[in-house]
Structure 1
Amino acid sequence: MADSFDPQNDFDSFYYAKGCGSPYERNERWLTFFQGIADQIIADLQPKNVLDAGCAKGFLVEGLRNRGVETWGIDISEYAIQEVFDTIKPYCKVGSITDPFPQKYDLIVTIEVVEHMPAEMGKKAIENMCAHTDRVLFSSTPFDYKETTHYNVQPPEYWAREFARHGFFRDVDFDASFITSWAVCFKKVDQPLHQLAYDYERRFWLLWKENTDLRQLSNELRNQGRAFYSQTQAAKIRLESLISQMEQNKTNWNNEDNGLYQEYINQINLQMIKLKNLYEELNYQSAQIRPEKIELSNQPENLVAAINRLETNLAETIREREFEKKRADDLQQRWEALERTRTWKVLSSFYKIRKPK
């Protein structure tokens, strides 16, 4: 693999256009990202001088210098250094991070660099960095094997071992996740082994407890999600039944009495619009159920209450319609009885009395 290492060919304009996820150029995304890192470095570490080992186009050098920190950058890519902003160019140079640096620094930062080097060069780079600082802010992807310039992708424990060879250990109380989730701050340690064991165990126990609590919470959310899903499925079945019932009532009433019950049909139409909207909402709620996305709310109870109200409204509408139908039938029977009387027949011979339709 080392025989194929050709940095000027590997890290040319094509690499910076296509090999970094999105074009690695002077734009708002990358400037904002490195300015955020600069702010966090200053807030947490307060270094007076910094070296960005593998600085690429110098965005972090620029961010730190704009905030008053003496910062220099070095990168093996001639193309990248040519692209450094004019005001920053005097502080960035072409070079290998395996070669001795001109001075010691309060902090050396190296972000996604050593995986681009063959294994032996990576080890030499770590040795060189450890010789020129007491603190290294380090990030190297543990799983991106697809990028063709990643010659030495390794898990975090591999790099921890290499730094430990030079007396550098993880600062267990420093959170470097503002860079990447796998970023680490290594610091030179002159402590006895029992103190190192104490610090690691203290931090490990806290992380174990946090992980256990999160797993328990995840299971609780999953159970709530399952209950939510069951409630929404039951509500959907009720809604489907209501919609079917209302469709049947609408059909029956449309076929009766030449529009006598149009007011009730209009009410049914309004109720059906509400039902169908609620049904769509239930479908959406069911589709959104994911253990990691559940909001602890009373949505199922609200939906059930809405269905109950619609059922009540429908029942009242049906009762009113049945009452009006019974009343109309009673009037019809009285009219027919009146037609059979002698008085009606006498009056009919003198007046044109029409039977109501």
Structure 2
Amino acid sequence: MYGSDYYVDRDKEAALADAEQFAKAVLDRYSPGSVLELGCGTGTLLYPYRDRDIDVHGVDLSETARDTSALSDSEFEIHDLTQPYSPNQVYDIVLCVEVLEHIPEESAETIVESICTSGNVAIVTAAPPGQGGTHHVNEQPHEYWIEKFEQYDMEHKQQKSIRIGNELELSELTWVEKNIFVFES
């Protein structure tokens, strides 16, 4: 979806600062021993967890992202998330940030099931209709995603979602603050 220029030209310092802020908001509420990110790009959101000796694993379709990632080969896996994904373990937290709107609607059920069966807490974002963006093929109202996750017995934690969103002041992914959902089984 993104070419090599996207991964090379990004403001890495801003991305790392955003990742640290995102992780802090999550870690203020949870104490995970493991974190999985589906659609991890270069894995930047996972770095703060790894720096705290939390087991991390990232999954993405892009070999270019893997090649520019600081994650080790054992921490990064290539996989097409329009296809079912089943990790070797259940993770304490599953992240899926800035991914759902890139998954065609006919594969939405597949990625939601992959998220829900991979961990007990899911923290996801999803662009609503009209947000726009590169290769956004499935912008849906927030209720659409909430209903999909609830089909897998994941409860939407609205107050946690709002509080995390309110704490974030991201410089790169500014829309994440409004589009974040926390689900727990």
- Structure-1-length-normalised TM-score: 0.45
Q: Which has the higher contact order (CA 8 A, sep 6+)?
A: 2
Q: Is the alpha carbon distance of 1:99 and 1:185 closer, same or farther for their aligned partners in structure 2, counting shifts above 3 Å?
A: same
After TM superposition, the structure 1 = structure 2 runs for residues 1-357 of structure 1, keeping only pairs within 5 Å, are 10-16=1-7, 23-25=9-11, 27-85=12-70, 88-97=72-81, 98-144=84-130, 146-174=132-160, 175-177=163-165, 178=168, 179-188=176-185
Instruction: Could you tell me which runs of 5 or more consecutive residues in structure 1 were left unpaired when the two chains were aligned.
Output: 1-9, 18-22, 189-357
Give the match for residue 276 of structure 1.
none
Instruction: Supply the distance in 1 between the matched residues of 2:131 and 2:183 (Cα, whole angstroms).
Output: 24
Please tell me the residue identity of whatever aligns with 1:180. Answer: E
Q: Quickly say closer, same or farther: Cα 1:33–1:52, change in 2 above 3 A.
A: same
Q: Distance in 1 between matches of 2:2 and 2:146?
A: 27
Q: Distance in 2 between matches of 1:61 and 1:146?
A: 25
In 2, Cα distance between the equivalents of 1:100 and 1:121? 15
| Correspondence for 1:283 | none
Aligned-residue offset at 1:162 = 0.6
The Cα offsets for residues 205-262 of structure 1, whole Å up to 9 and x where unpaired, read as xxxxxxxxxxxxxxxxxxxxxxxxxxxxxxxxxxxxxxxxxxxxxxxxxxxxxxxxxx
1:151 Cα deviation from its structure 2 partner:
1.0
Q: Report the alpha carbon displacement of residue 51 of structure 1 after superposing the two structures with TM.
A: 0.1
Cα drift, residue 140 of structure 1 = 1.2
Change (3 A) 1:167 1:69: same
The one-letter code of the counterpart of 2:119 is T
Q: CA shift at 1:143, angstroms?
A: 3.8
Q: Higher Cα Rg: structure 1 or 2?
A: 1
Structure number having the greater helix percentage: 1
Q: Per-residue displacement from partner, 1:172-212 (whole Å, max 9, x unpaired)?
A: 33123035222010112xxxxxxxxxxxxxxxxxxxxxxxx
What is the distance in 2 between the residues matched to 1:61 and 1:90?
A: 14
Give how far 1:148 is off.
4.1
- Report if aligned partners of 1:176, 1:184 keep a CA contact under 8 Å in 2: no
Count of residues in Structure 1 that have an aligned counterpart in Structure 2: 172
Displacement, 1:88?
Answer: 3.8
SS in 1 for 2:64: helix
Supply the distance in 2 between the matched residues of 1:187 and 1:72 (Cα, whole angstroms): 20
Q: Write the distance in 1 (CA, Å) between the matches of 2:99 and 2:126.
A: 7
Structure 2: runs of 5 or more not aligned: 169-175
| Cα RMSD (Å) | 1.9
The 2-side partners of 1:82 and 1:144 are apart by 33
Equivalent in the alignment of 2:171: none
1:145 shift after superposition: 5.1
Instruction: Quote the offset at 1:122 in angstroms.
Output: 2.1
TM-score by length of 2: 0.84
